[in-house]
């Protein structure tokens, strides 16, 4: 079967078919194996990819710029605060008082695609960032890539799966433990949502552990449950820091995320509350109770809070492999959606 994703937006992996996910992962692995191959290095020759950053970044900006360069094109960095933006009543930024429709139609004429990064600290309420991406996608013909918003992070989800497959092969029937951890960063849901969604789409069992009061949005949990049901796999939730670490677990993802009332109480109050729950940490003693589990994290890692140094820097940590894979999965996305490369699966 040949998979064609030309001009397709990539806003959330849940909105891609499993065949499209598998095609992207297959191409990303091929691009990693032949990183500078002439098969790929002219796919975006003389073309520009726009990057719209409402929030700062290390891995996202560098990996997308490198991806565009390695495909023969150019990535142009755009920062809203340098562009005389105006905030609407819905917390959505538009350029110089323009509607998003007008701005999007102009940008559409300049580039082969556009990525947008807009996290929780740049919006007034949950979902506003994702709504902005969808508004741009409505008016632009070139593909929009979600570089992390307040709900989803598809590039990270794909990179997680690529790293997990590289180390453990077919993921069907394997179990991932997604566990909350204390921390001083008040992290958003986006990477957590994506890992839960894509792992359950690819046939994994999912364990979710968090303290009471840190429930994830019901609509996303409903999707994960439905994915597991469709695949005949298990989904369970526990509310203590110990019981999720069991002998069937092959991957542990320990990550802080803020509570559902974050937008009401604010960042400082969330950090003060979360930092007290020090028992919620991934350590070697807990990892030793698993099936030689690999440690997964999107980075940056809040060491000493989300996870101990012993685990994060240990032989079972694959966090750097996953970070590298951001480059390769993003090249695959750009090649398929912007250059029209088709993949046989």
Residue 121: other Cβ atoms inside 10 A: 12
pLDDT of residue 88 exceeding 60, the answer is no
Asked whether residue 69 falls in the same domain as residue 86, the answer is yes
Amino acid 202: pLDDT: 98
Asked if residue 49 belongs to a domain, the reply is yes
Asked whether residue 285 falls in the same domain as residue 184, the answer is yes
**Among the ranges given (19-28, 37-46, 54-63, 298-307), the one the predictor scored with the smallest mean pLDDT:** 54-63
- Residues 6 or more apart whose CB falls under 8 angstroms from that of 232 comprise none
Asked whether residue 180 falls in the same domain as residue 112, the answer is no
Mean predicted confidence (pLDDT) in 317-321: 98
pLDDT of residue 274 exceeding 90, the answer is yes
Amino acid 95: pLDDT: 53
Asked whether residue 170 falls in the same domain as residue 258, the answer is yes
Asked whether residue 272 falls in the same domain as residue 232, the answer is yes
Highest mean pLDDT among 51-65, 88-102, 120-134, 281-295: 281-295
**Measured between alpha carbons, how far is 40 from 339 in angstroms, rounded to an integer?**
10
Asked whether residue 128 falls in the same domain as residue 179, the answer is no
Asked if residue 178 belongs to a domain, the reply is yes
Cβ-count burial 186-214 (b if 16+ within 10 Å, e if not): bbbbbbbbbbbbbbbbbbbbbbbbbbeeb
How confident is residue 98, by pLDDT bands cut at 50, 70 and 90? confident
265 vs 90, which has greater pLDDT?
265
Residue 315: other Cβ atoms inside 10 A: 9
Asked if residue 18 belongs to a domain, the reply is no
**Measured between alpha carbons, how far is 237 from 257 in angstroms, rounded to an integer?**
16
Asked if residue 227 belongs to a domain, the reply is yes
CATH number at residue 265: 3.40.50.1370
Alpha-carbon separation of residue 17 from 55, 147, 159, 233, 288 (angstroms): 29, 19, 17, 18, 36
Asked whether residue 123 falls in the same domain as residue 160, the answer is no
Asked whether residue 260 falls in the same domain as residue 175, the answer is yes
**% pLDDT > 70, the chain:** 95
Asked whether residue 113 falls in the same domain as residue 160, the answer is no
Mean predicted confidence (pLDDT) in 311-332: 98
**Measured between alpha carbons, how far is 308 from 42 in angstroms, rounded to an integer?**
43
**% pLDDT > 90, the chain:** 90
| Residue that is last in its domain, among 131, 152, 173 | 152
Per the structure, the complete domain to which residue 101 belongs is given by 41-152
Number of compact structural domains in the chain: 2
pLDDT of residue 83 exceeding 60, the answer is no
pLDDT of residue 87 exceeding 70, the answer is no
pLDDT in tens, 11-22: 999 999 999 999
Full-model pTM: 0.96
Handedness of CA 57, 62, 67, 69 (dihedral sign): positive
Asked whether residue 232 falls in the same domain as residue 294, the answer is yes
**Measured between alpha carbons, how far is 65 from 69 in angstroms, rounded to an integer?**
6
- Residues 6 or more apart whose CB falls under 8 angstroms from that of 78 comprise 50, 51, 52, 53
Asked if residue 165 belongs to a domain, the reply is yes
Asked if residue 12 belongs to a domain, the reply is no
pLDDT of residue 100 exceeding 90, the answer is no
**Measured between alpha carbons, how far is 138 from 321 in angstroms, rounded to an integer?**
34
pLDDT of residue 86 exceeding 50, the answer is no
**Measured between alpha carbons, how far is 56 from 260 in angstroms, rounded to an integer?**
23
Residue with tokens 């726009």: 50
121 vs 161, which has greater pLDDT?
161
- Residues 6 or more apart whose CB falls under 8 angstroms from that of 272 comprise none
Asked whether residue 163 falls in the same domain as residue 285, the answer is yes
Asked whether residue 203 falls in the same domain as residue 82, the answer is no
> How do 2-3 and 343-344 pair as beta strands?
antiparallel
Angle, helices 100-110 vs 128-139, to 10°: value is: 60
- Which H helix or E strand runs over 127? none
Amino acid 126: pLDDT: 95
Mean predicted confidence (pLDDT) in 164-189: 97
Q: In whole angstroms, what separates CA 239 from the centre of its chain?
A: 24
Contact 141, 11 (CB under 8 A): no
């Amino acid at each position: 079967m040949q998979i064609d994703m030309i001009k397709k937006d990539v806003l959330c992996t849940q909105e891609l078919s499993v065949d499209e996910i598998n095609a992207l992962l297959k191409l990303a692995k091929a691009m990693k194996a032949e990183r500078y191959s002439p098969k790929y290095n002219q796919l975006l020759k003389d073309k520009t990819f726009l990057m719209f950053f409402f929030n700062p970044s290390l891995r996202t900006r560098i990996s997308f710029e490198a991806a565009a360069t390695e495909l023969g094109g150019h990535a142009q960095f755009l920062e809203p605060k340098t562009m005389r933006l105006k905030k609407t009543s819905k917390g959505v930024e538009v350029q110089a008082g323009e509607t998003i429709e007008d701005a999007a139609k102009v940008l559409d004429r300049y580039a082969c695609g556009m990525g947008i990064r807009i996290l929780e600290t740049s919006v007034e309420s949950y979902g506003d960032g994702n709504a902005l991406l969808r508004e741009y996608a409505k008016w632009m013909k070139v593909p929009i890539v979600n570089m992390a918003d307040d709900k989803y992070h598809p590039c990270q989800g794909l990179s997680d799966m690529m790293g997990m497959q590289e180390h453990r092969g077919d993921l069907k029937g394997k179990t991932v433990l997604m566990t909350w951890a204390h921390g001083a960063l008040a992290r958003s849901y986006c990477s957590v949502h994506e890992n839960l969604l894509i792992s359950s789409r690819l046939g994994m069992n999912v364990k979710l552990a968090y303290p009471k009061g840190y429930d994830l949005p019901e609509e996303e949990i409903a999707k994960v449950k439905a994915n597991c049901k469709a695949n005949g796999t298990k989904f369970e939730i526990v509310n203590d820091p110990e019981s999720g670490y069991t002998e069937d677990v092959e991957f542990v993802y320990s990550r802080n995320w803020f509570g559902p009332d974050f937008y009401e109480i604010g960042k400082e109050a969330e950090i003060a509350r979360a930092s007290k729950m020090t028992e919620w940490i991934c350590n070697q003693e807990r990892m030793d109770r698993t099936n030689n589990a690999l440690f997964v994290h999107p980075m940056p890692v809040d060491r000493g809070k989300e996870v101990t140094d012993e685990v994060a820097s240990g032989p079972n940590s694959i966090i750097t492999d996953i970070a590298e894979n951001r480059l390769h999965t993003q090249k695959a996305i750009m090649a398929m959606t912007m250059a029209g490369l088709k993949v046989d699966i």
